[in-house]
Structure 1
Amino acid sequence: MVRFNQALVGLLLSSTGLVAAAEEPCGQVAEAQRKQKAENPNAKNYTVSAELAHACLTSVPFKSSDSLQLIDGLQYFWDWQTTKDFLKDPPKGYAVPGTDLEGGLAKIREKAASNAYKNEFEFQFELDALVRTVHDGHFNLAMDLIATFAFTRSELGSLVSLSDNGKNFPKIYALKDVQGGSANASAIKTIDDQDAAEWLKKFSFSGFFQDPDALYNGMLFNLPRSKVSGTGGFLTSRGLYTGNKISVGYENGAKKEFANTATFTADFAGVKDGDSFYNKFCSGKQTAASLLPLKETMEKNNRFLTASPISQPSTFMASRSLQEVKPIQESADGSVAGFFLEGKDSHIAVLHLRSFVGGADSNDPLWDYSYTISKFLADCRRTRKQKLIIDVSGNRGGTIFLGYDAFKQLLPRGRVETPFNLRAIEQFDITGTKVNYLLNHPRAPKAHEAEEQRDDIFDINSYVDPNGRKYRSWSSYFGPERVPNGNFSRPAIWDFNNIPMSLKAGGLVVSGYGNRTRVAPQAFRKEDMVIVSDGICASTCAIFSDLMTRNGMKFITTGGQPRAGPMQTVGGVKGTQVLTFRELWNVAELIFHKYSTPEEQRKLENTRLGQMVTKGKYVLGRLINDGAGGRVNYRNAVFTEDKNRVPRQFVYEKSHCRMFITKEALLDTKAWWGAVANSWWGDKGKCLEGST
């Protein structure tokens, strides 16, 4: 299996040539935007040809000194990436190649220092490719230039992979060709004269999943469909240009070409050429100089404790002519919904956890999510439903505590067994030492300012050890615990009985804890529940899945590459919390300027934390959203019994059965769920060979 930055290069370099025009391509983009604004003054998204967008990007000059400043600032943020010590030589069973993160960055720095890049795009493309080889949805670097355009195959549209019976190898179809129920839709045989499945396999390694089957599914429209179904990485990919057109060959012998486009939201006013593009978007000066005040930014960017990839594919509503699936209960944003099947399957209920975002348009989005589950399970008890399918297909995570809450509602007596740990780095130790000292010494200088950190992520009162006991001091929590791959903090679990901490984390107290100890009885026996996943499950979904697995639940996986054999339930990142570069820099800034005396500041200047404050600000200015475009996985999930503390990110965990998706998942979702139920509680012969 070849790595993304090797395998994908062939796809990219085989693309058509660049725009040949007298006028500068970035100037043409600016003019196209001006015309589209004139036609629609309310427009926020703009479109140009993929070829023109790529020509604009490659016309932007490379500036060695700026690139070195960016690279040298990155290291202080990457200190916090919890899987860093395992990536170069990953444990046996890891399903994708390892990567030498530090070595790769050193090679890019050497090339940048010798001014060997032809343009800024080439530099950022190589740095972006290195980040993608980590295959971690919590490890991101959305830089100013590379994130400007999203390349879109909108004329062809999203793809789906469908089997005729759930066991035969699936074929690739254009969603537009099959969503109307056409029996004559022809499968796609080739893409750009390559086997369609092989093309998708290669391109999928641009994704952030850690499993080949999840990477493959991530290219496709997420099934079963819902109002928040993701369109898939084939339709839209940021910064990855594969030509101005895409050629498709069908099994019926037809061959068609479809135009590729590029969409963008950036304001190109004043941009005339590559130099003016760089000055407007890539200098880093204007963003770093206009950073929001610390308090305002923390409230804006850290409202909830999250575990979710940096962005989800845009949603897409399938044809209205398709049979509508009516939920019994549904959250305001559609992220969780409950259904009752009908006819011979009327004894079966389905809880569809499409995400754990809890981002409804209400004052209490997390409570809305939690209460939707509560009301649906009450409906199941009242109507005496006998079986429950829990579908997490396409669930890329969200608010951390919603994963725990869903688990405790489904299995009220279930135990939280999997703790988390962090790299025992200098920055973490300095931060935790300072915060906990000030919280425990209210008369100390700066103690009043640090009170805002109480019951937050650096207060040890937010955690208990795996046996449920409080850590008595920062040093007892920080350790470090020395394992073969490095030094880590001691394992911990959230103290869900700490109500102030729960409220600070988003306002939700997890069911079964604090003032919510009275939880309704378990609605279904474990053997009468099964969880369905397409492997895209990540982040908070990984937390939920692990909780359910450790308490005896079984899983069915669907889709993946057209091959026999097992598949992982969780193919996305298994880390348990993500932090942005901006949030990390804010913490360092608080410790250095707000919580320390002048004498202490002088001592901190040459520490990694002090260096982040001074060198990290430029990095924030080179990323989208004031530094929120850079992120790290802040916590590993580990097993208490594993003394080597191998992050679950590197542990291969196959499901109990695997099936391929059929057209029913698109055309008649309830019939699809019924087929899944009958195969699990009936004919298990429908599981793929070698997958049980």
Structure 2
Amino acid sequence: MVLFRYLTLLCVFFGLAATGPTPAKPARVTRKATLTERDDADPPSTICGDIIDYVNNGTTVFYASDAYECLISVPFNQAVALRFLEYYNTTILFQSTLAYLRAPPEGYQQPAIDVLQELDVIKRNITDNVYPNEYAFEVALQSVVYRVHDAHVELNSGILAAFAFASPVDLMTASKDGKEIPKVYFKDDILALQEGDVDISPVVSINGIDVDDFLTDLAALQSVGMLEPHADWNELMSNPARDIQYELSILGGGLTFYPGDELNFTFANGTTYETWWLAIYSEPYFTGPLRTGGDFYNYFVLGLLPASYDEVPLPDAFNYSQYTSEINLDDSTESQLLPYTISHAYPKKPDVVQQGISDQSTGFVTGYFLNDTKTGVLSIPTFNQIEWDVGNFSLAVANFISRAKDAKLEKIIIDLQQNAGGMVEPAFVTFGQFFPEQEPFAGSRRRSHELANSIGKAYNEYWKRLPFGDEKIYYEASEWVVLPRLNADTGRNFTSWAEYYGPRNFHDDDFSLTERYDLANEVWDAANFDGWVPTKYTEGSDSTRPWDPKNIVLLTDGACSSTCSLFTEMMVQAGVRTVVVGGRPASGPMQATAGTRGASPYLSLGLDNDFNTARNWSTDAAAALPEVRDPGVFINYATFNLRDQIRKDDDTGTPLQFKYLPADCRLYFTLDNVFNMSALWRDVGHATWTDSSLCVAGSTTANSTSPPDGSKSRAVTPDLGLHNSRNSLDMPDPLTDGETEVTRPNKLKFCDPESGSSTCPPHVGCEPVRVKCDGKPKRVHICVMPCTNSRGCLDPLDQSCKLFAPTESSMSTSGISKGRPVRGLSNDVRKGICVPKSGSDAICKDAKAAS
């Protein structure tokens, strides 16, 4: 499973995008007079309030320097920061890889980090008054999170969640012929080259720095959750497989730290292009009338609404009710939206299409038959599926296999580019359709420590006492109930938490025994796979594999993460080869799965509930666990990796996260195939089955040679802006001196339609939605929490942002004052509402209680 795409970046298309609208220029904020006078000589800056005024009028894109000026005006409170750091320190103890991060084994391609020691440094810096403002503190903390290089480890909170920085120019890396070292180009130039006979020139420097050095450092600092610099680099670049999922590259809308003001490109032919970094406002909720940096702190850090919130009419920009009617997750009437419609890099007409594929579903599976080479291509850019899309996903894969066999196709390419994971069940089903005779291992384990021991013991003792029924099935899906899971050593269910807990010592840390999913248990499957049962594992299969593994190849761009890494591992263990494309402009190998290889992401909010539940169930847990677990701030979401993937019969116990797993062949993108999927797939086929010399030098022997020296990877730290003027905030403790009104709930909330929106937060409606419970659609009412494809939902593991049809952007062009043209973000800014990802037993139980 994966979080909402790190958490899914704002969908806007740039320049000459095939179907994008005319680019709009960002707003240059015009300063307004201070609204309230203070006794001190220097009134507080109102730049944050000026930005909010523009936002309320529909503007979402600003110059980065304006957003930065707002961020550094937000004051800092030591007591609040220390409370949150204590909360986060306890949370991160459950991260499975702490010991390996501190002292990585040979082959790990990122710098080492002692996470607990770094958090202690931040704590000392707080007490030593190092941080002049809230921005400096949050950047220091977020930098530690990013240096874990695990896409399951995310922190979305505070003022850094308000903006994402972006380049107004999309970049691509391509080689002229597949042999020459690639160069960096404007995406628009590559599109122009493919459309006609024009000369284009690569970028040689950015802001006076060699382009490779500039982008390598930028990627090391701001790319999220990748295991090696090659994958970091690819995350900066534009990619059609990302475009069709309505996402942006890190460079194009996912930069967290302020990158600067000016952005100047120099080309090999001596010409230059001068522009500016931009900022995208990411908050989907109406904030009310914020004015100062202190107001920004109250809203984004503490989760407090301004006192005059209810006195201000809701701006049209936040009137989500104009889009909502009944939302049917199993609705098959949505208009079909094929990949080619979004990105002309894809063939115009797929041979196989997942039912319900549209811009409002999670259906993305398509199949293409390259009949001239007797090759079939199965495109799976995500395993993230909502409700009935899960079944449609499996049907699409089965349809592809059946039709490809009928067409007598001999070779299969499974394209996993930009696949960041999703639900686990479709991965098992897909593997089972290609290798029905095999049972996947899929082993995993967690870190053993006293807090985990107290929770696990309480959960399993309680679950064991329950009679069979709804409550027992409900808790069977809990990560802490291990009795229904299999002991990898014995092949039988664990008999107790103590048996599972161990501990076993590896790499100077303690871990549990390795667990496996009991896929043959229908009750366990239904509880853990949101009501879906992979029948191949429960009923068996007498079918034969449709192709030998030597005739299947997996194509990735290194971004393969979470569930995608699980699927890849199962396929590789079955004998399938891998090809990876892209990476830094340098020869040598590259890993096929360089996103997280963790087995299970987990929310801090879920951990909060686990603490409370265990304390209520067990006197031992009540004595061992903290009585109050309070972050002291409003957290959109904080996640960590609870379980590692572990290979069968690996005596070293090394998590897959820390193994060097190079692809069997690496290819460069070329000017011909970087925006032409048919050409790319043919190149992959030729390199795999015809001519291995097409592979990048040094990449085909990587599995038999020593891995690259990961200690040479750059450790880049962000500028904390410590030179900025100090802006501290002394105030009463808001969590004890007054009632805290949280601005936005971070869990699914059912509501009473008879009471209308009165049971929901302000400006949030109560709307009907369908979920699948007991295999049947059920109509319930939820508070329709807004979301955008800049940030997704506040509970990314259980909710998904169902997008409305695109609307015309209302990005303002007023206030532009730079004095020279600027390329602006074009706009397909998408809004939506958060809906349940699936009809899991947990959701259905809550729905029954609400009905």
The answer to whether TM tops 0.5 is yes
Structure 2 contact 85–123 (Cα < 8 Å) conserved: yes
Matched, 1:127 2:156: no
Secondary structure, counterpart of 2:673 in structure 1 = helix
- Choose which of 604, 620, 631 in structure 2 pairs with 1:618: 631
What is the rounded CA distance, in whole Å, between the counterparts of 2:55 and 2:510 in structure 1?
Answer: 55
Matched, 1:336 2:365: yes
Q: How many residues align?
A: 618
> Which residue of the partner structure matches residue 687 of structure 1?
695
Show CA shifts across 1:93-137 (max 9, x none): 111111011111111100101222110000110111111111111
Structure 1 contact 432–474 (Cα < 8 Å) conserved: yes
By how many angstroms is 1:350 displaced?
Answer: 0.4
TM-score (norm 1): 0.84
Secondary structure, counterpart of 1:395 in structure 2 = coil
> Which residue of the partner structure matches residue 71 of structure 1?
85
Secondary structure, counterpart of 1:146 in structure 2 = helix
What is the rounded CA distance, in whole Å, between the counterparts of 1:482 and 1:459 in structure 2?
Answer: 22
Show CA shifts across 1:637-676 (max 9, x none): 1123222311111110111111101233344321221122
Unaligned ranges ≥5, structure 1: 1-17, 288-314
Secondary structure, counterpart of 2:84 in structure 1 = helix
What is the rounded CA distance, in whole Å, between the counterparts of 1:671 and 1:590 in structure 2?
Answer: 55
Question: Residues 249, 565 of structure 1: CA spacing in aligned structure 2 closer, same or farther, 3 A cutoff?
Answer: same
> Which residue of the partner structure matches residue 580 of structure 2?
557
Write the letter of the residue equivalent to 1:562: P
Matched, 1:382 2:411: no
What is the rounded CA distance, in whole Å, between the counterparts of 1:279 and 1:511 in structure 2?
Answer: 51
Question: Residues 577, 195 of structure 1: CA spacing in aligned structure 2 closer, same or farther, 3 A cutoff?
Answer: same
Question: Residues 59, 276 of structure 1: CA spacing in aligned structure 2 closer, same or farther, 3 A cutoff?
Answer: same
> Which residue of the partner structure matches residue 676 of structure 2?
668
Structure 1 contact 373–406 (Cα < 8 Å) conserved: yes
Secondary structure, counterpart of 2:236 in structure 1 = coil
Unaligned ranges ≥5, structure 2: 1-27, 35-43, 307-337, 701-851
- Choose which of 660, 663, 681 in structure 2 pairs with 1:652: 660
Write the letter of the residue equivalent to 1:261: L
Write the letter of the residue equivalent to 2:275: F
Write the letter of the residue equivalent to 1:94: Y
What is the rounded CA distance, in whole Å, between the counterparts of 1:26 and 1:472 in structure 2?
Answer: 62
Matched, 1:193 2:212: no
What is the rounded CA distance, in whole Å, between the counterparts of 1:101 and 1:226 in structure 2?
Answer: 34
Question: Residues 450, 67 of structure 1: CA spacing in aligned structure 2 closer, same or farther, 3 A cutoff?
Answer: farther
By how many angstroms is 1:497 displaced?
Answer: 1.3
Secondary structure, counterpart of 1:514 in structure 2 = helix
Structure 2 contact 352–367 (Cα < 8 Å) conserved: yes
> Which residue of the partner structure matches residue 485 of structure 2?
463
Q: How does 1:271-670 map to 2 (within 5 A)?
A: 271-284=290-303, 324-331=347-354, 332=357, 333-342=362-371, 344-345=372-373, 347-359=374-386, 363-442=387-466, 452-466=474-488, 467-505=490-528, 506-510=530-534, 512-515=536-539, 517-518=540-541, 520-593=543-616, 595-596=617-618, 600=619, 603-607=620-624, 610-611=625-626, 614-615=628-629, 617-618=630-631, 621-624=633-636, 629-670=637-678
Show CA shifts across 1:322-371 (max 9, x none): 674322222223432211114x32x1100111111123xxx412111111
What is the rounded CA distance, in whole Å, between the counterparts of 2:245 and 2:698 in structure 1?
Answer: 32
What is the rounded CA distance, in whole Å, between the counterparts of 2:467 and 2:517 in structure 1?
Answer: 28
Question: Residues 652, 323 of structure 1: CA spacing in aligned structure 2 closer, same or farther, 3 A cutoff?
Answer: closer
What is the rounded CA distance, in whole Å, between the counterparts of 1:587 and 1:30 in structure 2?
Answer: 39
Write the letter of the residue equivalent to 2:440: V
**Aligned-residue CA RMSD (Å):** 2.7
What is the rounded CA distance, in whole Å, between the counterparts of 1:26 and 1:173 in structure 2?
Answer: 40
What is the rounded CA distance, in whole Å, between the counterparts of 2:421 and 2:462 in structure 1?
Answer: 34
What is the rounded CA distance, in whole Å, between the counterparts of 1:168 and 1:421 in structure 2?
Answer: 43
> Which residue of the partner structure matches residue 161 of structure 1?
173
Structure 1 contact 60–278 (Cα < 8 Å) conserved: yes
Structure 2 contact 302–634 (Cα < 8 Å) conserved: yes
Write the letter of the residue equivalent to 2:484: S
Secondary structure, counterpart of 1:141 in structure 2 = strand
By how many angstroms is 1:416 displaced?
Answer: 1.6
- Choose which of 237, 246, 249 in structure 1 pairs with 2:266: 249
The structure in which a higher percent of residues are helix is: 1
- Choose which of 199, 203, 225 in structure 2 pairs with 1:184: 199
By how many angstroms is 1:449 displaced?
Answer: 6.7
Write the letter of the residue equivalent to 2:207: D
> Which residue of the partner structure matches residue 213 of structure 1?
230
What is the rounded CA distance, in whole Å, between the counterparts of 1:357 and 1:520 in structure 2?
Answer: 27
Show CA shifts across 1:557-582 (max 9, x none): 11111111111111111101101111
Greater relative CO (CA pairs within 8 A, separation 6+):
2
What is the rounded CA distance, in whole Å, between the counterparts of 2:524 and 2:680 in structure 1?
Answer: 41
Quick one: percent identity of the two aligned structures? Answer: 24
What is the rounded CA distance, in whole Å, between the counterparts of 1:128 and 1:369 in structure 2?
Answer: 35
Show CA shifts across 1:445-501 (max 9, x none): xx9977631353322243112253221222112222233421111001111112122
Question: Residues 66, 225 of structure 1: CA spacing in aligned structure 2 closer, same or farther, 3 A cutoff?
Answer: closer
By how many angstroms is 1:179 displaced?
Answer: 2.1
> Which residue of the partner structure matches residue 772 of structure 2?
none
Question: Residues 33, 65 of structure 1: CA spacing in aligned structure 2 closer, same or farther, 3 A cutoff?
Answer: closer
What is the rounded CA distance, in whole Å, between the counterparts of 1:556 and 1:229 in structure 2?
Answer: 25
> Which residue of the partner structure matches residue 204 of structure 1?
219
What is the rounded CA distance, in whole Å, between the counterparts of 1:263 and 1:633 in structure 2?
Answer: 29
Show CA shifts across 1:282-335 (max 9, x none): 125679xxxxxxxxxxxxxxxxxxxxxxxxxxx998876667432222222343
> Which residue of the partner structure matches residue 280 of structure 2?
263
Show CA shifts across 1:531-575 (max 9, x none): 111111111111111111112111111111111111111111110
Q: Which moved more, 1:395-404 or 1:26-35?
A: 26-35
Question: Residues 575, 322 of structure 1: CA spacing in aligned structure 2 closer, same or farther, 3 A cutoff?
Answer: closer
By how many angstroms is 1:231 displaced?
Answer: 2.8
- Choose which of 86, 107, 120 in structure 2 pairs with 1:93: 107
Structure 1 contact 179–666 (Cα < 8 Å) conserved: no
TM-score (norm 2): 0.69
What is the rounded CA distance, in whole Å, between the counterparts of 1:275 and 1:671 in structure 2?
Answer: 54
What is the rounded CA distance, in whole Å, between the counterparts of 1:119 and 1:227 in structure 2?
Answer: 39
Write the letter of the residue equivalent to 1:583: G
Secondary structure, counterpart of 1:218 in structure 2 = helix
